[in-house]
Structure 1
């Protein structure tokens, strides 16, 4: 599955309706965002059972502001509707794979107790 574009209208429902959702906040003028895009796209094809979403910060300024995104790219990971990871800066492919493994392994129900 390739990445999907999220908007303010689709963000919450996408996060709530899927077990694991990764969200990349980016902009077309951002060099590190452009460098990270093919890494993110490749991971989306490797992990077809996960949702890989992108939010264009130029088009979705209110959503980016609500998510408190102050630097791009910013990557967020949600599991069972809960934010479990947030980091600004482009990740190299091995770090993204490590993150995906950690999110898969995380027991959010136990963490909430």
Structure 2
């Protein structure tokens, strides 16, 4: 599946209507972002059931600010509307595949139960 360009306008709909969403926060001037782009695209081709989205932090200040993106590239993975992974820096193809495998393996019923059991802030 090709990656999609994500904006603040389609963010919520994308997260709520898809089981797993992998987001790459990037900028055109960022060398590591440009190096990571082909890896992100290749891995997206291996997982057609997952949404792979790119957020241009230069254009989407609201999204970048909301998630407190301080370094790019930053990779964030949602499953069932829960952030399971958020890390700055590039990943190799095997590393990204491993993170996706771990996200798929999680017992989301337990994750949601654990979240529900946490005291409200």
TM-score by length of 2: 0.91
Deviation for aligned residue 1:7: 0.4
Residue equivalent to 1:24: 24
Deviation for aligned residue 1:112: 2.5
Partner of 1:28: helix, strand, or coil? coil
CA RMSD of aligned residues (A): 0.7
2 CA distance for matches of 1:107 and 1:5? 29
- Deviation digits for residues 33-89 of structure 1 (CA, Å, limit 9, x no counterpart): 000000000011111111000000000011100111111000000000111110000
1:65 aligns with 2:69: no
How many residues are aligned here? 113
2 CA distance for matches of 1:32 and 1:77? 19
Q: Which runs of 4+ in 1 moved over 3 A?
A: none
Unaligned runs of 5+ in 1: none
Residue equivalent to 2:117: none
TM-score by length of 1: 0.97
More helix by share: 2
Partner of 1:33: helix, strand, or coil? helix
Q: Which has more radius of gyration?
A: 2
1:37 aligns with 2:37: yes
